[in-house]
């Protein structure tokens, strides 16, 4: 019998990408195989995002096309998961009666059970209001099917306890929960044993990692087993009974795992970026010299209205400390334009700070009111879309200028890269990542497998990429190549 096939389309951030890997793992454990032709897949999963408005519009467009497909192929099963499902459950159900399963952010591990249930009962909607505190809540804790063999995401924290007034994430991802330190280190060891040499630690506010664990520890009576459970033997085995799983400690511990050569993380919140974290980045060779530090605005009035907890000056100080401490650091950021009440003067501050910060890369967004957030209620302070559009363009010019300058400054250097695969734009070229997380395209006479490490001379640069020539191959990937499963 031919195996049934699945295809997953992921919207949104790495958290969602990681959840998608987990859904893929569950579907494969249930006997499905990835569809070669995604349009012909038997099970289609849409893992959704609701961070900004266009994210929902894209989803409803895709659902419309799937409705026609399902009329032609009634066996097609559709699952909608993720943040938009968590947020818009009723609207989604109303607008998409053809969806078989709707599940949210806290019950991803139930995807296959719910699919089986829908075959018996018809469409199923199951959204949980909160995450379980047990391991199942953490996407990495269960089998995942990783798209890339040499690199893995590790979610160290779910949810967010901050109250940025524009942001929907706390309401769709729940309160902040950190995964116990010992479990994380053990997982990274398992990944390394499997041939993974690059990990990315994921959380909405990675710098506050461990805060909830330390609080939980304080409530416990003296109990060594519980200490080890929370902080891991690294931090309890020295007899000092020092319990403080902090992000800096975690960076040091995972960087020390044999076989792990690159450690990345996203996102650190500027208000919680501590000197220990900068020191851990500087001293652990495996931690990559790239920091994503979301600015959001350069105006103190807007930063206060956003509830960000820092001023522009404080942000620039932290940035200077990071650049002073970490050799050859690349910095990327997120900036929102047109937050309610943003005056011309506020926006000028953003331009100034962005120019001074000289970002390597900036993700710029137009403010999008999200129902349920504080900022969305300030309709009297919404900014005329034409003004916002013009500001957006000006900001883009400033951030592109620094990006180009930063990329051009790499010309003539030899960069250590990890090969990602054949370039999407030019089949003759390979795409790779530098330690600074820059994309570097280069030609190679022989095909190099994804995960290969090489050194490449940078010969040219654009605002978003570098290009160069292969100097030498440093190491072949250690992971086993996945043998494609034929659907026959
Ligand atoms: N936890 C991460 C951000 C996750 S959302 C952090 O704090 O760094 C990613 C980015 O989307 C944010 O940094 C912000 O710039 C943008 N964003 C979030 N909500 C938005 C909204 N309502 N309108 C426009 N941009 C938004
Ligand atoms: Fe949203 Fe702020 Fe939390 Fe980031 S830190 S997820 S922007 S509430
Ligand atoms: Fe989107 Fe949810 Fe991430 S709203 S940005 S997928 S946490």
Q: Quick one: pLDDT at residue 244?
A: 64
What is the DSSP secondary-structure string of 166-179? T--HHHHH-S-EEP
- Tell me which residue of 73, 72, 74 sits closest to 119, measured CA to CA: 74
Contacts of 55 (CB under 8 A, 6+ apart): 11, 12, 48, 49, 84
Q: Quick one: pLDDT at residue 483?
A: 44
The pLDDT tens digits along the chain (488 residues) read 689 999 999 999 999 999 999 999 999 999 999 999 988 999 999 999 999 988 778 888 899 999 999 999 999 999 999 999 999 888 888 888 899 999 999 999 999 999 999 999 999 999 998 887 665 666 555 556 676 789 999 999 999 999 999 999 999 999 999 998 888 999 999 999 999 999 999 999 999 998 888 776 666 555 556 666 666 555 544 444 455 668 999 999 999 999 999 999 998 999 999 999 999 999 999 999 999 999 999 999 999 999 999 999 999 999 999 999 999 999 999 999 999 999 999 999 999 999 999 999 999 999 999 999 999 999 999 999 999 999 999 999 999 999 999 999 999 999 999 999 999 888 889 999 999 999 999 998 888 999 999 999 999 999 999 999 999 999 998 765 544 443 33
Q: Distance, CA 285 to ligand 3 centroid (Å)? A: 31
Atom of ligand 3 nearest to the CA of 51: 4
Same fold, 289-409 and 414-475: no
Burial class (CB in 10 A: 0-12, 13-18, 19+), 358: middle
Q: Hey, is 195 helix, strand or coil?
A: coil
Of all protein residues, the one whose alpha carbon is nearest to atom 12 of ligand 1 is: 334
CATH tag, 148-287: 3.30.750.210
With a 6 A CB cut-off, is 51 part of the ligand 2 pocket?
no
Q: Quick one: pLDDT at residue 406?
A: 98
Interatomic CA distance for residues 168 and 374, integer angstroms: 10
CATH superfamily of 5-126: Methylthiotransferase, N-terminal domain (3.40.50.12160)
Measured in whole angstroms, how far is the alpha carbon of residue 214 from the centre of its chain? 25
Interatomic CA distance for residues 306 and 103, integer angstroms: 30
Of all protein residues, the one whose alpha carbon is nearest to atom 4 of ligand 2 is: 204
Fold for 414-475, please state it. Answer: OB fold (Dihydrolipoamide Acetyltransferase, E2P) (2.40.50)
Of all residues in the chain, what percent are helix, strand and coil, respectively (each to 5)? Answer: 40, 20, 40
Q: Quick one: pLDDT at residue 485?
A: 41
With a 6 A CB cut-off, is 170 part of the ligand 2 pocket?
yes
Please tell me the class of the 289-409 domain. Answer: alpha beta
Q: Hey, is 332 helix, strand or coil?
A: strand
Q: Distance, CA 418 to ligand 2 centroid (Å)? A: 30
The domain ranges of the chain are: 5-126, 148-287, 289-409, 414-475
Which sign, positive or negative, has the C-alpha torsion 64, 366, 268, 435?
A: positive
Indicate the pairing of strand 439-443 with strand 466-475. Answer: parallel
């Amino acid at each position: 019998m031919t195996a049934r096939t699945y295809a997953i389309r992921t919207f949104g951030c790495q958290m969602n990408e990681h959840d998608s890997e987990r859904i893929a793992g569950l579907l494969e454990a249930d006997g499905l195989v990835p569809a070669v032709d995604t349009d012909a897949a038997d099970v289609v999963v849409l893992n959704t995002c609701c961070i900004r408005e266009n994210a929902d519009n894209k989803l409803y467009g895709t659902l419309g096309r799937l409705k026609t497909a399902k009329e032609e192929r009634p066996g097609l099963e559709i699952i909608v998961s993720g943040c938009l499902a968590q947020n818009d459950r009723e609207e989604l159900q109303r607008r998409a009666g053809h969806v078989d399963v709707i599940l949210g952010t806290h019950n991803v591990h139930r995807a296959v059970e719910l699919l089986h249930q829908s075959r018996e009962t018809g469409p199923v909607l199951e959204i949980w209001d909160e995450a379980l505190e047990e391991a199942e809540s953490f996407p990495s804790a269960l089998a995942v099917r990783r798209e890339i063999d040499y690199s893995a995401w590790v979610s160290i924290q779910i949810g967010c306890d901050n109250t940025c007034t524009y942001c929907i994430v706390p309401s769709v991802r729940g309160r902040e929960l950190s995964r116990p330190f010992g479990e994380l280190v053990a997982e990274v060891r398992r990944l390394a044993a499997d041939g993974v040499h690059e990990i990315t630690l994921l959380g909405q506010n990675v710098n506050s990692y461990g805060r909830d664990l330390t609080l939980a520890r304080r409530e416990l009576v003296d109990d060594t087993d519980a200490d080890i459970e929370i902080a891991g033997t690294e931090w309890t085995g020295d007899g000092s009974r020092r319990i403080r799983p902090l992000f800096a400690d975690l960076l040091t511990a995972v960087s020390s795992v044999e076989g792990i050569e690159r450690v990345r993380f996203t996102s650190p919140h500027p208000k919680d970026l501590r000197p220990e974290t900068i020191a851990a980045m500087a001293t652990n060779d495996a931690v990559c010299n790239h920091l994503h530090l979301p600015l959001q605005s350069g105006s103190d009035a807007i930063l206060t209205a956003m509830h960000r907890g820092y001023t522009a000056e404080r942000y620039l100080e932290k940035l200077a400390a990071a650049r002073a401490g970490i050799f050859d650091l690349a910095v990327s950021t997120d900036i929102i334009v047109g937050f309610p009440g943003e005056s011309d003067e506020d926006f000028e501050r953003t331009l100034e700070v962005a120019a001074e910060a000289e970002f390597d890369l900036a993700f710029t967004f137009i403010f999008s009111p999200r129902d349920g957030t504080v900022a969305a209620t300030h309709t009297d302070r919404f900014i005329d879309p034409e003004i916002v559009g013009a500001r957006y363009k000006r900001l883009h010019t400033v951030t592109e200028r620094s990006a180009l300058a930063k990329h051009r400054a790499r010309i003539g250097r030899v960069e250590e890269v990890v090969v990602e695969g054949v370039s999407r734009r030019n089949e003759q070229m390979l795409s790779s990542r530098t330690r600074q997380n820059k994309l570097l395209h280069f030609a190679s006479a022989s095909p190099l497998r994804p995960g290969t490490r090489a050194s490449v001379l940078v010969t040219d640069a654009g605002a978003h990429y570098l290009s160069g020539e292969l100097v030498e191959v440093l190491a072949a990937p250690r992971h086993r190549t996945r043998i494609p499963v034929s659907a026959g």
